Structure 1
């Protein structure tokens, strides 16, 4: 029987894992709260049968105020699942909190400053403990800012909704969706014990630098440049929390552990690849390709 991967919360990033796993002959079952007809997904609350047959489990659904919905719903079942041998959890680099620009790596203790980041830490610990009790592998994959086809600075500039905040001391870590997918498959193939993995590229950079490169590539006009102080009052609470923390996240140990380098080591290569795919003849538009791959949660 081929390996069976179950994805709890198959959204933008996790959908890119599906074709890679299926190309290797895997059976893949994805879930969504309320799947659209014809999506190929099953309802989150109806995943019990699939989980009973799963050899690999990936959790992409975020925690809520009441906790991690996947753990709350299925931990008891998974504790007894005889075939399960790997758990992967998509977390966030936000678990490190504000480091005032200092570097963190995979060995740095967490120090979450936001409520949602504390919930992530609790979920990470719950899944690690379940894996240890079962003596199976577990990878906590802490993701930086996710971008890719249909979700990049190119799209933001194209929409006319870009806000260029000039804050050179704020270096944000990013990761292309394809590197998340390929990194996930690499994690599965190299799985051993419980690991902390950082899915961030090699070039943490200011937000303005990314918009400038996207504007250069796509020949877009840049919006007016604002200081963080000028933009602050108009930012949403979520955006303020995003800008209130500074840290530089490294992934050297992760790349060593996975025995691979990122396909897109910086936003420059990532944006160029997105634009090239958009402009290629007979290429499916990014939004259409994403919809065909699997709908977002």
Structure 2
């Protein structure tokens, strides 16, 4: 193991994969809001700490040794909670810090009518959560400029992987095939978030990077492909216009774009799963598609 010390604010699904898959990169410490999640973090080789919006002496001590800082906590209306709590500490009491990573969303681009976007495209977020993400991106980039450290902003598309995928939804009966003409989404497997983070952190690379697959596709196609692999009938098609959806679920369909990943590829990163076909084939063949998923017995319609 190297002498790197990685600190993660918000050690959730993607960050746990980053730590669990990259033991040789260094020692990982991460935060959660609940002590009940400590065991899950330990299983991912993350030393768990509580972060409730204020820095504890344990967090301060860990940050003092941190070489790589990753932020995976959603911003709030009042701003980024990590910056509110830790700005001065990052500026004055993190002498070993070499690199900062911030997990954001392709939602900051907003709606582009199905056109291709890259990192130079205009950001015109539709939802408040994406507007807050864009402001947080800018705040972290400003901090990096202030202290002379590279900040990598990873704009993630729809995250899936073991325990979170169409197989799980088909198995528990919650899968839907919503039809909205010409609607497409990009996706990203959790392991490619992990891989991109390692690639950028190892190289101390800063900038804005779309971490997304090569195949923007209609959401119903993904469900159909999973059902074919499972050899179960797909759910019936439902017209988006008349579907019963939560406001948040409906808001995702208000953004239609195809997101390019050429920038991260230009740095030398090769995607493990360039499209959902490759990922679903691997998950189904390996049997890890439901790893970690809380699910009921499969319902067959």
Q: Report Cα offsets for 1:52-88 as digits up to 9, x if no partner.
A: 2111000011112222111111111101121111000
Q: What is residue 11 of structure 1 aligned with on the other side?
A: 12
Structure 1 runs not aligned, ≥5 long: 290-297
Q: What is residue 293 of structure 1 aligned with on the other side?
A: none
Once residues 127 and 86 of structure 1 are traced to their aligned partners in structure 2, the CA distance between those partners, rounded to angstroms, is: 12
Match among 75, 78, 82 for residue 66 of structure 1 = 78
Match among 119, 138, 146 for residue 151 of structure 2 = 138
Kindly indicate whether the alpha-carbon contact (under 8 Å) linking 1:162 and 1:223 is maintained by their aligned counterparts in 2: yes
State the Cα RMSD in Å: 1.7
Aligned pair 1:191/2:204, yes or no?
yes
Kindly indicate whether the alpha-carbon contact (under 8 Å) linking 1:141 and 1:199 is maintained by their aligned counterparts in 2: yes
Kindly indicate whether the alpha-carbon contact (under 8 Å) linking 2:167 and 2:290 is maintained by their aligned counterparts in 1: no
TM-score (norm 1): 0.90
Aligned pair 1:177/2:186, yes or no?
no
Distance 1:54 1:67, change over 3 A: same
**SS in structure 2 of the partner of residue 128 of structure 1:** helix
**SS in structure 1 of the partner of residue 122 of structure 2:** coil
Q: What is residue 295 of structure 1 aligned with on the other side?
A: none
Match among 24, 49, 59 for residue 42 of structure 1 = 49
Q: What is residue 246 of structure 1 aligned with on the other side?
A: 256
Q: What is residue 163 of structure 2 aligned with on the other side?
A: 150
Kindly indicate whether the alpha-carbon contact (under 8 Å) linking 2:168 and 2:293 is maintained by their aligned counterparts in 1: no
Match among 242, 259, 263 for residue 272 of structure 2 = 263
Match among 285, 291, 294 for residue 286 of structure 1 = 291
Once residues 231 and 31 of structure 2 are traced to their aligned partners in structure 1, the CA distance between those partners, rounded to angstroms, is: 39
Kindly indicate whether the alpha-carbon contact (under 8 Å) linking 2:104 and 2:153 is maintained by their aligned counterparts in 1: yes
Q: Report Cα offsets for 1:18-62 as digits up to 9, x if no partner.
A: 0233233x0110111123254431111432221121110000111
TM-score (norm 2): 0.89
Once residues 128 and 11 of structure 1 are traced to their aligned partners in structure 2, the CA distance between those partners, rounded to angstroms, is: 22
Kindly indicate whether the alpha-carbon contact (under 8 Å) linking 2:7 and 2:69 is maintained by their aligned counterparts in 1: yes
Once residues 191 and 247 of structure 1 are traced to their aligned partners in structure 2, the CA distance between those partners, rounded to angstroms, is: 30
Structure 2 runs not aligned, ≥5 long: 43-47, 295-301
**SS in structure 1 of the partner of residue 292 of structure 2:** helix
Aligned pair 1:52/2:53, yes or no?
no
Q: Report Cα offsets for 1:133-186 as digits up to 9, x if no partner.
A: 111111000000000000001101111011111234111010000011011000
Kindly indicate whether the alpha-carbon contact (under 8 Å) linking 2:10 and 2:71 is maintained by their aligned counterparts in 1: yes
